[in-house]
Chain A
Amino acid sequence: MNYAELTSLLGYILVLMVPYSLASMGIMVGGRVGVFNVSTEGVMLSGASAAFLVTYFSGSYTLGILSGIGVGLLIGLMMTFFANKLKIDQFIVGILLYIFATGFGSLLYKEIIGITLYPPKVNLLPKIKIPLLSQIPYLGPILFNQDAIVYITILIALLLYYLLFKTSFGLKIRSIGENPRAADALGINVFLMRHIFTLIGSALMGMAGAYLALGFTGIYTNTIVSGRGWISIAITIFGRWNPLWILVGALLFAGVEVLVYTLQAMEVSLPYQVLMMLPFIITLLILIYTSRKAEMPAALGKPYDRESFEE
Chain B
Amino acid sequence: MTAVSKTTVKDYLKAAAYYLLAIAAAFGVAGLILLTMHQDVLLGYKTILTTSFSSLPNFALTIFKFTPIYLMGLGFSIPLASRKFNVGIEGQFLLGAVGAAAVGITLTGMPGYIILPLLLTVALIMGAIWASVPALLLYFFRVNEIISTILMNFISFYLVDLIALGPWRDVTAGHPMTIQISSSARLPIIGSQINIGSLFTIALAVLGFFILYRSTFGYELRASGSNPIAAFKFGIKTSFLAPLSLVLGGAVAGLAGGLEVSGLYFRLVEGMQSNYANLAIIVSLMARGNPVALLLTSFFFSMIEIGANAMQRTMGTPYEIALITESLMMLFVMTVDAIRQKRR
Would you call A104 and B159 a contact (CB within 8 A)?
Answer: no
State the CA gap A227–B91 with chains docked (Å): 14
Provide a sorted-by-A list of 24 A–B residue pairs whose CB atoms are within 8 angstroms: A82-B335, A87-B338, A88-B337, A91-B85, A93-B331, A95-B85, A95-B87, A99-B281, A107-B33, A107-B324, A226-B154, A233-B144, A233-B147, A271-B162, A273-B161, A274-B162, A276-B158, A277-B158, A280-B152, A284-B151, A287-B137, A287-B143, A287-B147, A291-B142
Would you call A107 and B320 a contact (CB within 8 A)?
Answer: yes
**Known A97-B327, A273-B159, A277-B159: A283·B151 in contact at CB below 8 Å:** yes
Interface majority SS (helix, strand, loop, mixed), chain A: helix
Known: A103-B327, A110-B318, A233-B144. 4 other contacts (CB 8 A): A88-B334, A95-B146, A99-B282, A284-B151
Closest residue on chain B to residue A288 by CB atoms: B141
State the CA gap A14–B176 with chains docked (Å): 34
Q: How many residues of B contact A (CB 8 A)?
A: 43
Would you call B338 and A88 a contact (CB within 8 A)?
Answer: yes
State the CA gap A38–B130 with chains docked (Å): 22
Would you call A280 and B320 a contact (CB within 8 A)?
Answer: no
Most buried by A among B133, B147, B152, B339: B147
Residues of chain B within 8 A of A266, CB atoms compared: none
Interface size class of A (residues with CB under 8 A): 35 or more
Residues of chain B within 8 A of A111, CB atoms compared: 37, 318
**Known A111-B37, A230-B150, A288-B137: A281·B155 in contact at CB below 8 Å:** yes
A293 to chain B, nearest CB (A): 11
Interface majority SS (helix, strand, loop, mixed), chain B: helix
Would you call B323 and A103 a contact (CB within 8 A)?
Answer: yes
**A246: CB under 8 A from chain B?**
no
State the CA gap A135–B154 with chains docked (Å): 41
Residues of chain B within 8 A of A92, CB atoms compared: 85, 285, 334
State the CA gap A135–B49 with chains docked (Å): 65
Would you call A82 and B331 a contact (CB within 8 A)?
Answer: yes
The one of B155, B320, B322, B339 in contact with A110, judged by C-beta atoms closer than 8 angstroms, is: B320
Q: Which A residues between 138 and 160 are near B, CB-CB below 8 angstroms?
A: none
Residues of chain A within 8 A of B121, CB atoms compared: none
A236 to chain B, nearest CB (A): 10
B residues whose Cβ falls under 8 Å from a Cβ of A: 33, 37, 85, 87, 133, 137, 141-144, 146-148, 150-152, 154-155, 158-159, 161-162, 165, 278, 281-282, 285, 318, 320-324, 326-328, 330-331, 334-335, 337-339
Would you call A280 and B318 a contact (CB within 8 A)?
Answer: no
A237 to chain B, nearest CB (A): 8
**A100: CB under 8 A from chain B?**
yes
Would you call A104 and B161 a contact (CB within 8 A)?
Answer: no
Mask: chain A, 97-126; 1 = CB below 8 Å from B; 0 = not: 101101110110011000000000000000
**A265: CB under 8 A from chain B?**
no
A238 to chain B, nearest CB (A): 11
Would you call A100 and B143 a contact (CB within 8 A)?
Answer: no
State the CA gap A226–B152 with chains docked (Å): 13
